[in-house]
């Protein structure tokens, strides 16, 4: 195979800002040392998220123009519905404005107080919807030793699910969810074998199996790359194998829809879909637009065709791997194997002189910003730690990770080389990087609004 490269050329460009060292420091101070509060106009390379940050293709931009903005029965919906049905095999298709709207509608109507939702890992917003319904979200990821690379680190612990289903809590389980890929677990894939084993248990116990399919195409590519059995199949065929095993899915199409907004619910059961449609009308809009413009539906339909193209997915996976190697050469402890949507770095190991309460992941992210206006996400004690109710130090997160998320088709190899060079500067002076303390925080989701100061 030829070496990988971007399988596209650039047709429209957008200038990026280059704040100097003084401007970077001023922006970070004004933001209370919280990168979520730094304006995008002060960011050179933004790797905060791969969600809603993709570049659309020429075909998607032209699809926008043929959008049908009719309130009911728009042509754009027909196209979207057809593409989703052909991809997933699910006949019932409900558009929504983004992933969490789908979760809110689906999980809120499905779950009763006291019931259990079990997943390989619930993404934060999924967990929030489960808990808002008065139910409990239980994560059963397959056990993986830290730093032991395994091909399917996104899998569900099927033996644990089996025990749970046969135990006293079995009757409380209302749904099982497979998040593909498993974002909270480094974007690692779920294998077909794991989805099959999960399906068998769900069938045996009459529990619905649902997919959070936000990164279904990346999951399919990684399955194909990591299991000889599925290597001869196209990514679309592998994706379909997994869709075939579930009763339905939801997805944030801000990821593998390669668009800036959108989401969906797709189901087999028409009676369930009718229930959800009622809720859709209440909170999102008429069922043929669901909180989106007709043109969004057209761009999404086109994006869902492009995202399963083998050349695109190969570029996506190989550029993540290439970038991970580059960061490692720059001296960063990189988590392996890499998935597609992000590269994760263990800031706790790099900044070994800081205790978790001194927020090493935040410290590393802020230093990267100061060094070169690169923005990444902290996934350490600021996000996952919990304040001690007795007023003592925070209960730390299990690990101090930083995520370098990769927007789709946005940054070229030279942009990522720049990020690695900036990271190398930070790694070279790791021992001098200061820790942080929280000055002000709100309750839940404190990472978005908290203000901090260096120690
Ligand atoms: N499910 C998964 C697996 C996600 O990663 C996300 C969002 C959602 C659901 C929610 O979708 O944002 O469209 O409402 N993840 C983003 C991220 C925010 O940065 O990983 P949404």
Spatial distance between the Cα atoms of 12 and 32, rounded to a whole number of angstroms? 34
Check residues 441 and 87 and name the one with the higher pLDDT: 87
Fold of 21-50+310-454: 3.90.1150
Is 211 a residue whose pLDDT tops 90?
A: yes
- Which residue minimizes the CA distance to atom 2 of ligand 1? 123
Q: What is the pLDDT of residue 384?
A: 85
Kindly state the helix (H) or strand (E) to which residue 446 belongs, with its residue range: helix 446-449
Q: From ligand 1's centre to the CA of 254, what distance in Å? A: 8
Is 90 touching ligand 1 by the criterion CB < 6 Å?
A: no
Mean pLDDT taken over the chain:
96
For 3-33, write each residue's pLDDT tens digit. 789 999 999 999 999 999 999 999 999 999 9
Is 146 a residue whose pLDDT tops 80?
A: no
Is 154 touching ligand 1 by the criterion CB < 6 Å?
A: no
DSSP string covering 261-278:
S-EEEEES-HHHHHHHHH
Q: From ligand 1's centre to the CA of 112, what distance in Å? A: 23
Q: Is there a contact between 46 and 383 (Cβ–Cβ < 8 Å)? A: no
Kindly state the helix (H) or strand (E) to which residue 250 belongs, with its residue range: strand 248-252
Q: From ligand 1's centre to the CA of 449, what distance in Å? A: 19
Is 117 a residue whose pLDDT tops 70?
A: yes
Q: Where are the domains of the chain?
A: 21-50+310-454, 58-306
What residues contact 148, with CB distance under 8 A and at least 6 apart?
none
Nearest to 358 by CA among 344, 347, 373, 369: 347
Q: What is the mean pLDDT of residues 171-182?
A: 97
Q: What is the pLDDT of residue 441?
A: 87
Which of 313-322, 346-355, 395-404 is predicted least confidently? 395-404
Q: What is the mean pLDDT of residues 427-452?
A: 90
Is 221 touching ligand 1 by the criterion CB < 6 Å?
A: no
Is 443 a residue whose pLDDT tops 90?
A: no
DSSP string covering 339-396:
-SSEEEEEHHHHTTTS-GGG-HHHHHHHHHHHHH-EE-EEESHHHH-B--TTSSSPBP
Percentage, residues of the chain above pLDDT 90: 90
Q: What is the pLDDT of residue 4?
A: 81
Query: Which residues pair with residue 451 across a beta bridge?
Result: 440
Query: How many other CB atoms are there within 10 angstroms of residue 23's CB atom?
Result: 13
Q: From ligand 1's centre to the CA of 390, what distance in Å? A: 32
Is 125 touching ligand 1 by the criterion CB < 6 Å?
A: yes
Q: Which atom of ligand 1 is nearest to the CA of 98?
A: 13
- Which residue minimizes the CA distance to atom 16 of ligand 1? 51
pLDDT grade, residue 389 (50/70/90)? confident
Q: What is the pLDDT of residue 446?
A: 85
Nearest to 368 by CA among 312, 421, 308, 410: 421
Is 2 a residue whose pLDDT tops 70?
A: no
Q: What is the pLDDT of residue 1?
A: 65
Q: From ligand 1's centre to the CA of 51, what distance in Å? A: 7
Query: How many other CB atoms are there within 10 angstroms of residue 307's CB atom?
Result: 28
Q: What is the pLDDT of residue 192?
A: 98
Q: Which atom of ligand 1 is nearest to the CA of 182?
A: 3
In a 10 Å sphere around its CB, with 0-12 CB exposed, 13-18 middle and 19+ buried, how is residue 320 labelled? Answer: buried
Q: What is the mean pLDDT of residues 238-265?
A: 98
CA atoms within 13 A of residue 274's CA, in its CB half-sphere:
3
Percentage, residues of the chain above pLDDT 70: 100
- Which residue minimizes the CA distance to atom 10 of ligand 1? 99
Is 437 a residue whose pLDDT tops 80?
A: yes
Q: What is the mean pLDDT of residues 271-281?
A: 94
What is the interface pTM, i.e. ipTM, of the complex? 0.99
Q: What is the pLDDT of residue 28?
A: 98
* Architecture of the domain defined by 58-306: 3-Layer(aba) Sandwich (3.40)
Q: What is the pLDDT of residue 158?
A: 98
What is the DSSP-derived secondary structure letter of residue 337? Answer: S
Q: What is the mean pLDDT of residues 371-393?
A: 88
Is 51 touching ligand 1 by the criterion CB < 6 Å?
A: yes
Give the ranges where 206-309 is alpha helix by DSSP (H): 216-226, 235-245, 270-283, 294-306
Q: From ligand 1's centre to the CA of 429, what distance in Å? A: 33
Q: What is the mean pLDDT of residues 215-226?
A: 98
What the block records as the tokens of 424 is 């190398």
Is 447 a residue whose pLDDT tops 90?
A: no
What the block records as the tokens of 262 is 């959108």
Is 69 a residue whose pLDDT tops 70?
A: yes
């Amino acid at each position: 195979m030829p070496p990988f490269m971007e399988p596209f050329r650039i047709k429209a460009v957008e200038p990026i800002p280059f704040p100097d060292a003084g401007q970077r420091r001023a922006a970070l101070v004004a933001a209370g040392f919280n990168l979520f509060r730094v304006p995008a106009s002060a960011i050179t390379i933004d790797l905060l998220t791969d969600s809603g940050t993709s570049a659309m293709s020429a075909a998607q931009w032209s699809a926008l123009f043929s959008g049908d903005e009719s309130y009911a029965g728009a042509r754009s919906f027909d196209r979207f519905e057809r593409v989703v049905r052909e991809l997933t095999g699910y006949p019932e298709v409900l558009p929504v404005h983004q992933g969490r709207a789908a979760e809110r509608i689906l999980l809120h109507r499905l779950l009763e107080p006291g019931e259990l939702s079990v997943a390989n890992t619930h993404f934060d917003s999924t967990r929030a919807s489960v808990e808002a319904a008065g139910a409990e979200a239980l994560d059963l990821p397959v056990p993986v030793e830290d730093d032991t690379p395994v091909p399917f680190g996104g899998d569900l612990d099927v033996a644990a699910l089996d025990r749970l289903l046969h135990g006293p809590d079995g009757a409380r389980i209302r749904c099982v969810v497979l998040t593909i890929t498993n974002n909270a677990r480094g974007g690692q894939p779920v294998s077909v074998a794991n989805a099959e084993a999960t399906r068998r248990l769900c069938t045996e116990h009459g529990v619905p199996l649902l997919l959070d399919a936000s990164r279904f195409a990346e999951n399919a590519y990684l399955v194909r790359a990591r299991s000889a059995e599925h290597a001869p199949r196209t990514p679309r065929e592998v994706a379909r194998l997994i869709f075939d095993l579930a009763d339905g899915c939801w997805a944030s199409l801000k990821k593998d829809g390669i668009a800036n907004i959108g989401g969906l619910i797709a189901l087999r059961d028409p009676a369930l879909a009718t229930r959800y449609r009622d809720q859709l009308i209440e909170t999102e809009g008429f069922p043929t637009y669901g909180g989106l413009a007709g043109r969004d539906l057209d761009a999404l339909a086109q994006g869902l065709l492009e995202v399963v193209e083998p050349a695109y997915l190969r570029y996506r996976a190989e550029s993540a791997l290439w970038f991970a190697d580059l960061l490692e050469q720059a001296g960063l402890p990189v988590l392996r194997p890499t998935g597609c949507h992000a590269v994760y770095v263990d800031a706790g190991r790099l900044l070994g002189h800081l205790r978790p309460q001194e927020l090493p992941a935040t410290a590393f992210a802020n230093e990267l910003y100061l060094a070169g206006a690169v923005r990444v996400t902290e996934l350490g004690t600021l996000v996952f730690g919990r304040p001690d109710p007795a007023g003592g130090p925070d209960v730390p997160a299990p690990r101090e990770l930083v995520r370098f998320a990769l927007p789709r088709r946005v940054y070229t190899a030279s942009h990522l080389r720049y990020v690695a060079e900036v990271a190398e500067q930070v790694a070279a002076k790791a021992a001098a990087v200061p820790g942080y303390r929280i000055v002000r925080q709100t309750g839940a989701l404190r990472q978005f609004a908290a203000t901090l100061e260096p120690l």
